[in-house]
Amino acid sequence: MDFSHTGGINNVNIDVALHAKKLGLKVIVYGSAVEAKGKVTRHKSGKTLFEIADIVVDSCVPVVDASVVLKKITKTK
């Protein structure tokens, strides 16, 4: 089972990943390891999606890469 996730701390994704492992499936996570590092999981297991994964495909995207500064746009008639 594969997951694409930025932080890997949300309950539902972790629950699904843990259940997939119980069924004998491999868990593959695609995401940014840098973005996930230091985040506190919301799951009772204390683990993030990246810690549960059998394989992590690191996108190497830096923190807040999706944030861009837009120049001021003027309204035209």
Domain ranges of the chain: 2-58
For residue 38, how far is the Cα from the chain centroid? 12
Q: Which pair of structure tokens corresponds to residue 9?
A: 């701390």
pTM metric for this prediction: 0.73
**Cα distance between residue 56 and residue 36, in whole Å:** 12
pLDDT in tens, 9-50: 888 999 999 999 999 999 999 988 777 778 888 899 999 999
Structure tokens at 50: 């990246």
